[in-house]
Every structure is written in C-alpha cells, then in structure tokens.
Amino acid sequence: MIRGFLAGWVVVLLSGCSSISYYSQLADGQWQLLRAREPVAEVIADPTRPQPLRDHLVQAQKARMFASEHLHLPDNQSYRLYADIGRPYVVWNVFATQEFSLSPENHCFPIAGCVAYRGYYSQGAARGEAALLRQRGMDVSIGGVEAYSTLGWFNDPIMSSMMHWGDERLATLIFHELAHQRFYVKDDTEFNESFATFVEQEGTRQWRVARGLAPLGDSMLRQRDQFTRLILDTRKRLETLYAQPLSAEAMRQAKAAQFERLRQDYRQLRDSQWAGDKRYDAWINQPMNNARLLPFGLYDQWVPAFAALFKQEGGDWVRFYAAVERMGQLPVGARKTALRQLESVAP
C-alpha cells in the first residue's frame, strides 16, 4: 500500500534523539532487509530453489526490463535483487485521523518529508501504536504493505511479500515503486502516490499489450473505478459534515449514517451492475472509520489528472515525466490548482 517509505537508518542519522525506539526499529528493519538481498539471477540459476519462485522471478525480470526500456523508469539494480523476508508484509502502516477529520496525522522525516502514516516492521508494534492512538480518541487503521521505495538511496529488492499475487501484480508493484524513484515531492503524499498509481496502471496496460494479451476486462476496471468513486464521494460528504457546527454526539450520529450510506450504495451497485460480484465485500463489511478512507484519497485522488496529463503529452513518457516535474516544483496551492484543471478535462 503506501510505498514512499524512507530507509530507516538514514532517518536515524538525521533525526537526533526524537522517538529513539521508533527509529531504532526502522534502522533494524531496513538493515535486515539489506542483509537478505541476493541477485535475482543467482536465485533463478539455483536448482535447489522452488521452481515456482524461479519462474516468477524470470517473469519479474522481463517486467523490470520493460520498465526501463519502455516506461523510461530508472535503470539500476533495484528489483534485480531478491530478499526472502519470511512474513506476508514488509511493513505495517498505521494511519490515524481525529474523530471528525479526514486529515491524516502526518509524520515528518528530514529527506522524505511528511507522510500520512507511521511504518512498523513488526505487526505487533503497529498494533501497539494503533491501540495508543485509539486511547486518545482517534480513528485508526492498519494496512500491510508489500513493498516500499527507498527513493533511490538503496537498491530495493523484490521481496517475498511481493510474490503472492501472480506475475502481473508483481509487475505493477515494480512499476509503482520505480515511479517513486523517478520523481518524488516532499510533503505531498497525495501527489506522489497518485502519480505512482497512474504509472502503475498505464504501465500495466502497456505491459499487457507488449505481451500480446487482451486489455484487462472492462467490467473489472469499471468495478474498480466505481468502487473508488464511492469512497471518494463519501470522503467529500464527510468533509462537508465535519465543517458543520454540530455537537459531538450529533456529529457522531451523522458520521455513522454516512458510513451506512456507503455500505448501502455499495450493495446497490454490486447487485444492480456487478451481477452480485462480492470482491469488495470483505473490505466494506469491516468496521468503518475515517482512517480506513485515507488510502483512497492518497492513492487515487489525482489519478484522473495524471491520465489527462499523459494524454496531453501525447502518451510520451519522457515528456510526461518532464511535465510532472514542472508541476512538482510549483507551490503546493498552484500544484493542486493545476491538478484540478487537469481533472476537469480527464478522459
């Protein structure tokens, strides 16, 4: 899920004595990851390794080559290394908001800037942090992360946590993480993640074309977009609600009503347009709060704007990246205005 996570030991060197225990686990987690790396070519050539792993890595290296040669993403040793980390996620990110706010609790680092979460290499540590935040009356959510980018500070490996979703999912993760290496703006998680998500989606579309595969089914893409729109629409209604001068109890009741409306709208959409496809049921049926909606605002907010910019630049990746860099250099207010203008003409 959120991948612009700076290498822990770099943070330690630059952050002084603040939150020593937190930075210590970052340093240790990153160091263990670096130690676990080995060249992908050696794993593929090793007959003692499981054949499915070797086959998966062969396909991953084809996607890695495509990323640099066709998507013009960085050509370095990242994702040409492999690390078996022995757990389903590399980190667990803790998201938090105030009870009546959709603004994330940001955490700031000297190089990466401010990000909308805190990352933990241990699920237990993430749960402990979440419990403390809940005691403070905050809305909290924990999300497991399959991969993250060190923004070029290290050669990031393909991790065993990235290997559970098939060849195409692994390719999309590689495209996404390399996009963070290609360009990154401090203190703007929405910009960074939406940019990387667009590169992931368009890169995957082109990767399928290059292999002679049919595009992803229109129904699957439509469901993804419609589900995302439901969440973003709910965010907008909640933002309007939280700006009203209501008592805390009245606000809580109205907030609960909005989440119930989200579930009802989802079920109506599922049953009337998706032929009862339940792929999002597990997510929608979990306890709901503001923090659970944060990733949708971070990863999806500006994807249509970047799609419009890509089209505006003639589908040329080099020109597109140059335009993204120019936008990233704008003051934050002007940057958001430019994104809104693009969004208004999005295909």
**Residues 79-138: tens digit of each pLDDT:** 999 999 999 999 999 999 999 999 999 887 766 678 888 999 999 999 999 999 999 999
Percent of the chain scoring above 70 in pLDDT: 93
pLDDT higher than 90, residue 22: no
Task: Calculate mean pLDDT across residues 267-281.
Answer: 94
pLDDT higher than 60, residue 16: no
pLDDT higher than 50, residue 321: yes
Residue 237 and residue 193 share a domain: no
Of 179, 210, 241, which one is at a domain's C-terminal end?
A: 210
Residue 305 and residue 202 share a domain: no
pLDDT recorded at residue 7: 37
Residue 225 and residue 183 share a domain: no
Residue 188 and residue 104 share a domain: yes
Residue 54 and residue 145 share a domain: yes
Interval 190-237: pLDDT, tens:
899 999 999 999 999 999 999 998 877 667 778 988 999 999 999 999
Of 189, 210, 231, which one is at a domain's C-terminal end?
A: 210
Of 155, 183, 210, which one is at a domain's C-terminal end?
A: 210
pLDDT band at 19 (very low <50, low <70, confident <90, very high): confident
pLDDT recorded at residue 218: 66
Residue 182 and residue 223 share a domain: no
Residue 90 and residue 158 share a domain: yes
Domain assignment present for residue 1? The answer is: no
Residue 202 and residue 299 share a domain: no
pLDDT recorded at residue 204: 95
Task: Calculate mean pLDDT across residues 272-292.
Answer: 95
pLDDT higher than 50, residue 1: no
For the chain, the average pLDDT equals 90
In the chain, the number of structural domains is 2
* More confident of the two residues 296 and 160: 160
pLDDT recorded at residue 295: 86
pLDDT higher than 60, residue 162: yes
Residue 156 and residue 21 share a domain: yes
Interval 57-83: pLDDT, tens:
999 999 999 999 999 999 999 999 999
pLDDT recorded at residue 94: 96
Residue 170 and residue 247 share a domain: no
pLDDT recorded at residue 6: 38
pLDDT recorded at residue 11: 39
pLDDT higher than 60, residue 37: yes
Its domain, for residue 280, covers 218-344
Domain assignment present for residue 118? The answer is: yes
Domain assignment present for residue 110? The answer is: yes
Domain assignment present for residue 2? The answer is: no
Residue 198 and residue 250 share a domain: no
Residue 243 and residue 171 share a domain: no
Beta strands at 158-159 and 81-83: parallel, antiparallel or unpaired: parallel
Segment of 4-13, 115-124, 306-315 carrying the highest mean pLDDT? 306-315
pLDDT recorded at residue 110: 63
Domain assignment present for residue 273? The answer is: yes
Domain assignment present for residue 227? The answer is: yes
Domain assignment present for residue 3? The answer is: no
